[in-house]
A and B are shown apart, each in its own frame.
Chain A
Amino acid sequence: MRVAENLNAALHEVMAATDDLYLLGEDVSDPYGGAFKITRGLSTRFPGRVLSTPISENAITGVAAGLALSGDAAIVEIMFGDFAALAFDQILNFAAKSVSMYGSRVPMRMVVRCPVGGGRGYGPTHSQSLQKHFVGIPGLSLYEMSPFHDNLALLTHMLGRAEPCVLFEDKVLYTRPMHDVPAPFSLAVADGVARVFLDDEPDCVIVATGGTAHRALAAMRSLLLEEEIVCTLLVPSRLYPFEVEVPPARYVFVVEESSAGGTWGAEVAHQVHRRHWGHLAGPVTLVHSADSVIPTAAHLEDEVLVSESAIHRAIREKLRG
């Protein structure tokens, strides 16, 4: 099953299981079913609870917050995550704050889905990975879709938290298979963290976002075959708050597609430094995209975005010099 099918099926199931759950977004209704076809079939099956909206990210997100405030639940699809900038006030200043700023806990069941990432040639305003802009907001939890986490469990978990969540979905994952791990690696998922590993003691640990996991995995494979470097890959479903127990290792790498500067990976590195400084051979290495807008032309986009070869190179240089 492909990731998009898994997510679509998860939305069907969670809508069926939750009578008071709404889904709102631009062009989400059938027969179009969303720009990436993730909401296909939902408006036909759940008329009245799946609402195609005007091009109004601020209002859609505010309406979702109003529904949540009334005791309903809501999932918002932001067509391209980049447009979440237009909903930022509602997320930062209303939804997230409402959980606690009225002095007692206000449950807010809402999820803002943000397709993000490049690699599709959509250019500077339709290709960004915006995770870093949402890190560190009290009352807001950040999640990222991965090929290793079932989306029904993820959506159920997010709505169960009763506080606003943002779900980042790397667009390149939609067409990739679920749970695909090449031999000789093994996959285990526990407590929302996917671990891809060999039985051997790892030389290094890679913490990667869901959207970069397949690139990290490909680098792990080539590092094993070409350099005999053994890596363990950790892919957290929840990005923030980050509470992943990173196993003690001499080398730790964090991989993300974000452009450089103030990244999620820097937050992860800070936590790893605090917990494991004594075990580390050196500071955590951040592997991310360049400090650049994301160009449209494929050859220019390749130069900017984090890639399998960049991950391979960063790890080889650190471990082999």
Chain B
Amino acid sequence: MLLQFCTKHAQSKQGGIFIVLALALILAALPFVVGNTLGNAWLRILNFTLLYIMLALGLNIVVGFAGLLDLGYIAFYAVGAYCYALLSSPHFGLHLPIWLTIPSGALLAAFFGLLLGAPTLRLRGDYLAIVTLGFGEIVRIFLNNLNAPVNITNGPQGISGIDPLHFFGISLGKPINFLGLNVPSLHSYYYLFLALTALVVLLSVRLKRSRIGRAWMAIREDEVAAKSCGINTRNLKLLAFSMGASFGGIAGGLFAGFQGFVSPESFSLMESVMILCMVVLGGMGHIPGVILGGLLLSVLPEIFRQNAAPLQIAILGKVWLDPEALRMLLFGLSLILIMLYRPNGLWPTSAPSSAEQK
């Protein structure tokens, strides 16, 4: 009986390792497959998908774990991006490597997270959403206007000529010769983003299954009861804000280095809403669900963008509906359908919550 149990357990563990290995292999081969079949445009989309997954996981800490509705999350992405842009571009003449720029972006974003969290500690739900929305807009408007009297952000023109991500003399902007293999720039970005996404996933999983994660979820479920269980809700909410923000800051720095250009218009309210949709559609608080949400909402619109007009011409003879309008229409429709038929998201936590497993 016991033996049976043990072998079964070992099998499942081996099975888990097998799945992880297979997944790693697929993810490692993916850029070459995508690059050779669909082209570099799709490789860029893939890289952006990883950034969005990072952002969604960061927001998931705030919204999914601690239950704090944040509509200004993109501000932390902006802070990370501008931090990288200022520290590694001709704008100030600084060219720091990523092991300085990315962590400082993460720290600065975490600080902004505290800045947002501190005055909003007593707010919940709708009220919190309004304040965070305002915060996101304030950050964007500041970036837009901080070109006078002292030019810090270069205003609406944004900062261009940002250095590609670089460290120890290696620049990801150029092809890298790795063990005789020529790795193109887009591919090396992909691997760096993949590694950091994996790190963010690992951090999320570990935080969720810890004393801290449990306390966040308790606050989400019932703040008064959480207080009475001895949870310092003030500190834990601030922690959630700053942890979530730091993930956004990391993604922002990567974005700036990858794109080579940042401007305030990349950080509009619509982006915040999009990331929130990834979290909510995927399954709030459930890490695989959030990853799925990030993946779907970054890849599907692109597929649509490329095929909407040609499809209309093929079927109807001419473009009846502007692809952009049609995209928003379908996006809205799918939101409504998902909220009606899967109100907990596409891949929600199975009850009871998985955080309990060791």
Is the A/B pair a real complex?
A: no
- State the B residues within 8 Å of A (CB): none
A interface vs B, CB < 8 Å? none
